[in-house]
Structure 1
């Protein structure tokens, strides 16, 4: 599947493939119960809820970031409980222009499931197209745990990244004021990984919350990527970094690498270097 699917194309897909799995990934970092409440009030018919903390993230140790990845076996079991099987189409969405649903998109791709797309524009695009919402919770269509497949999306850990800082280009998806270290509302240390370039994830979007056209995204990323260094995506906790990663794939750059621990893991180790201010 293409990384993005429009509301119109999703309606067509559901008519042809009613077994398509829908995941509502709405969330709020300041109120972890808000997304689930929004889901209960109204969601796409047939959608299941995927919670960022419970379903898409693993246990925190204080040194592995705010939203560490789960073990692959845990993701495989969750996918099975949600009814996701090889070849079955999956569409993920949220109410935040993909801010959280991109994590589910990346996880499924990492697990080897290529038939997954992000609803472009999210729930708002669905309702703007005149499509209905429901408060009905679908019965689970549980199946066997997802089969073990080689990881299909590349990633890098903190120690590897620290050793290769001069060889890679870190793309930081946080808001500019957090990247510069002017403010830090979520993590104990302000700043960014040395050498990182800022690309606020919201810059991938048009005013209506849909992604910019592929050719426009390509021009914008080309301006940030002056050489052939491998791109590593980072953010606060490894979630919105997936937004830039998806946008680059839409723009035709292929699969780039995720640093899932991101700033919240990086800054938890006092010996790791920290930079502040705009990039020189």
Structure 2
């Protein structure tokens, strides 16, 4: 690779770091703070900020002498939602799981070694875990659908994911020891079900079952979340709803793929 090409890639990587840093901040961020936090020179930081402002990804707030997210970020978020939108049949499966389990229900899709929440079914009586909205993809070691993904990855792929994401404590109950986590994943492989108890949010637990395509490849998960006390008292009702939901979603995935290829007519 030429030096010029490497420089262009480095600029893109730096710009993404700047964007991520400002997105993670509570409010507008001054250029000097961006430079100090990311270890960049001030001239380089101003060049990156100006480029991002020109593209609409950031806005400059002169009165505050700081930078904040721009409208293009919202455009990207809407684009992501369109691209990960699930078929109506999968939404109906999630609605049935929500009703049967009396719990918030989720469909998470596998995208390039990430599990991303693609659909949520909730109600005032059974709300979702707040961070688990459409687009959520963090902390695979601490979520039930994340543990499912880690369980089906090869050892090398699993290590690569964990090297990238880390295994930080999300709550006091989060498993942060790789050996313990790997024992959990072996259990997931054996049972075909992932459960996390208080690992992502204290007092709440999640359960997930795998969804596969027609070739048997893991493509997503049906999951629920509920208070830990209810998971313990209604474990088997919840598990039955999740497992049946995953079976139904697997059938939908196969039929949808067949319909797109023209082999069968799409279902109602």
- Superposition TM-score, scaled by structure 1 size: 0.24
* More helix per residue: 2
How does the TM-score come out when normalised to structure 2? 0.25
Greater relative contact order: 1 or 2 (C-alpha under 8 angstroms, separation 6 or more)? 1
Greater radius of gyration (CA): 2
